[in-house]
Structure 1
């Protein structure tokens, strides 16, 4: 049994979390996608061959498929065509990944039934946003549009943050940082993890940039001297305090 099969999840996902199948033959990219999707709370299965993906899809359909165009065994294009031909998977959300950026190729990918099309190299945060948007359209009950802790509320759809009823004005990076931390209260994220997930794996910036933006986020959230919801773990990173608002 290979590693991807050993890590396969075929049962219903715990807590009703959406299940995502990643079909990508570049091991490093597959691992990166799996890591970031799991950090968002999804249950992830990864396979590297098109024919293996076909078997997994016949056994148990996930909530969404991230599908590479060029695969060993069966191409991603052919898999998408077959998914749309079967009644059980006709509306299954599919995001296609490819190095092909020409307009004609994008049209071809969409014409076989892909819901979205992402050209490599891409921004991981952008892909995560596309995943959320597709899941929200396909199964709105499976994706929370609002996050709340104590007196802080974050609305993903309106991109607004409120604390104690007043608007908190955040830049796009601070918003993504807060969103990412609030999704996993108590979990400590290293600066390198935050760089990969919030800025994207291809970003060429220093880890100290994370400290700068965390500082800005803290200042915005605690303008009136309120409790700081972000916890610094020395030598490890940052976390959204899981006890925030409980006292």
Structure 2
């Protein structure tokens, strides 16, 4: 594991940027670390402690960071399209030969050709695929079924909404947003503020501008239920799929090849 996360060429404190991204995400997702723990528990349960992992829509590499701290003999390929978050990820993991990053658009039909491997023990993703509408997400699940080895696993931790419980949904949202408001009042940084800080950084300014040229402010995807994800993954070619963890607003769906 690389001990120093500060880029010697730029003087940028990559660890600080990684930590600030984690704190910003936790403002929205107070159970984020619990999700990661269960995800890695199920990696160990299904494919062991030395897996070849694809960190899908990896962002700054939050999954990879936790993966390698828990399983030092694991390897990870991080794939994303966001140039700013990939800049942080590459700086943070600089010198760690267990980690590779690839720039690719998950909506492109041939994106898997850019990967260094044709199969993976585990494909993991968190708080990312809600950026996709149901049709491209279904197509992505089909491609992932061909990328996960037999006996391998795919896990998606994300916002997943059950439309059949509107009163429960409204109560949960009101409670969650009240907590977010309290945290914001004492200095929590939200999505917009975090990106404003990145835009002011001399190293991240141009990648951040490019990121907004690619995505705009925020993509407009779908938030289907855990049952939809499980059913779609089975239809894509996974043998079993179900939610293995849930909070009032989020779920972790696991599919076994």
Question: Could you tell me the TM-score, scaled by structure 2's length?
Answer: 0.28
Larger relative contact order (C-alpha < 8 A, sep ≥ 6)?
A: 2
Structure of higher CA gyration radius: 1
Q: TM-score, normalised by structure 1?
A: 0.28
Greater helix proportion: 2
